[in-house]
Structure 1
Amino acid sequence: MTARTGAGPRTGRLEAVVAGGGPAGAVAALVLARAGRHVLLVDGGPPGARSGAFTIGETLPPAARPLLHDLGLWTAFAADAHLSCPGTDASWGSARLLGHSHLFDPHGQGWHLDRDRFDAFLREAAVAAGALIRRAVVIGHRSAGGEQRLLVRERGGAVRELCSRWVVDATGRRALIGRRLALRRRQDRLVAAFTLLGGRVSGGHAGDPELRTLVEAVPEGWWYTARVPAGRVVAHLTDADLAGARLRTAEGFRYAVARTRHVRDRLRGYDPACSPVPYWTAAHGLRLSPPGGPGWVAAGDAAIAFDPLSSQGILTALHTGARAGAAVARCLAGEKEALASYASFLDGVADAYHHHHARSYAQERRWPEHPFWRRRNGGRTDPEGGAG
Structure 2
Amino acid sequence: MSTRRHEVVIAGGGPAGAAAAIALARAGRDVLLVAGSDDAAFKIGEGLPPNARALLRDLGVLERVLADGHRASPGTCAFWGDATPHANDFLFQLHGHGLQLDRTRFDAMLRDAAAQSGAEVLPDALVRIVTAGDATRPHRLALRPVDAQTHAEAESIEADWLIDATGRSATLARALGARKVAYDGQIAFHQRLRSARDDDHDGRTFVEAVEDGWWYSVLLPSRERLVAFLTDADLCDHRRLLDGDGLWRALVDAPHLHALCKTHGYAPASQARGADASGSHLDRAAGERWLAVGDAALAFDPLSSKGIANAMYTGLRAADALLRHDRGDAGAIDAYTQHLLDIHRVYREQLRAFHAMEMHWPEAPYWARRLAALPLRETA
Greater shift, 166-175 or 251-260, is seen at 251-260
Match of 2:372 in 1: 378
Structure 1 length-normalised TM = 0.90
Asked whether the 8 Å contact 1:87–1:110 carries over to 2, the reply is yes
For 1:364, the equivalent position in structure 2 comes to: 358
Indicate conservation of the 8 Å contact 2:8/2:159, yes or no: yes
1:83 — aligned with what? 71
By how many angstroms is 1:140 displaced?
2.2
Task: Show the 5 A alignment for 1:284-303.
Answer: 284-303=278-297
> Which position in structure 2 is the counterpart of 1:126?
114
Alignment length, in residue pairs? 367
Correspondence 1:175 to 2:164: no
Equivalents in 2 of 1:281, 1:114: separation in Å? Answer: 18
The offset of 1:277, in angstroms, is: 2.5
Separation in structure 1 between the aligned mates of residue 285 and residue 94 of structure 2, nearest angstrom: 32
> How far, CA to CA, are the matches of 1:276 and 1:103 in structure 2?
32
Q: Which runs of 5+ in 2 are unaligned?
A: none
Match of 1:24 in 2: 16
Q: Does 1:143 align with 2:132?
A: yes
Tell me the equivalent position of 2:308.
Answer: 314
The equivalent of 1:228 in structure 2 is 220
SS in 2 for 1:165: strand
Contact 1:175–1:302, Cα closer than 8 Å, also in 2: yes
* Structure 1: gaps spanning 5 or more residues: 1-6
In the TM superposition, residue 77 of structure 1 has moved relative to its aligned partner by 1.8
Aligned twin of 2:182? 186
Q: CA offset at residue 366 of structure 1?
A: 0.4
Structure 1 residues 378 and 182 mapped into 2: Cα distance closer, same or farther (>3 Å)? same
- Aligned positions of 1:1-388 closer than 5 A: 13-47=5-39, 49=40, 52=41, 54-138=42-126, 140-141=128-129, 142-144=131-133, 146-155=137-146, 157=148, 158=152, 159-180=154-175, 181-197=177-193, 199-203=194-198, 207-230=199-222, 231-244=224-237, 245-268=239-262, 269-272=264-267, 274-386=268-380
1:98-153 alpha-carbon deviations (Å, 9 max, x no partner): 21111211111110001011111111111111000112443521315621123232
Q: Match for 1:153: what amino acid?
A: R
Report Cα offsets for 1:27-53 as digits up to 9, x if no partner: 000111011100000012444x2xx4x
CA distance 1:383–1:139, shift in 2 (3 Å): farther
Match of 1:3 in 2: none
Which has the larger displacement, 149-158 or 280-289? 149-158
What SS does structure 1 have at the residue aligned with 2:171?
A: coil
Residues 129 and 139 of structure 1, relative CA distance in 2, 3 Å threshold: closer
Contact 2:191/2:247 (8 A) holds in 1: no
Amino acid at match of 2:174: R
CA contact (8 A) 2:16 2:293 kept: yes
Letter paired with 2:157: L
Q: What fraction of aligned residue pairs are identical, expressed as a percent?
A: 41
Give the letter for the 1:174 counterpart: S
Question: What letter matches 2:33 in structure 1?
Answer: L
Q: Deviations over 1:42-77 (max 9, x none)?
A: 012444x2xx4x200000001111222222222222
Task: Using the TM superposition, name which of 261-270 and 171-180 deviates more.
Answer: 261-270
The CA deviation at 1:247 is: 1.2
SS in 2 for 1:14: strand
Any idea what SS the aligned residue of 2:353 has? helix
Quick one: which amino acid aligns to residue 367 of structure 2? W
* Residues in 1 aligned to 2:187 and 2:321: alpha-carbon distance in whole angstroms: 32
| Higher mean C-alpha deviation, range 309-318 or range 145-154 | 145-154
- 2:81–2:358 CA contact under 8 A, matched in 1: yes
**Equivalent-residue separation in structure 2 for 1:16 and 1:224 (angstroms):** 38
Aligned-pair Cα RMSD in Å: 1.7
* Misfit runs of 4+, over 4 Å: none
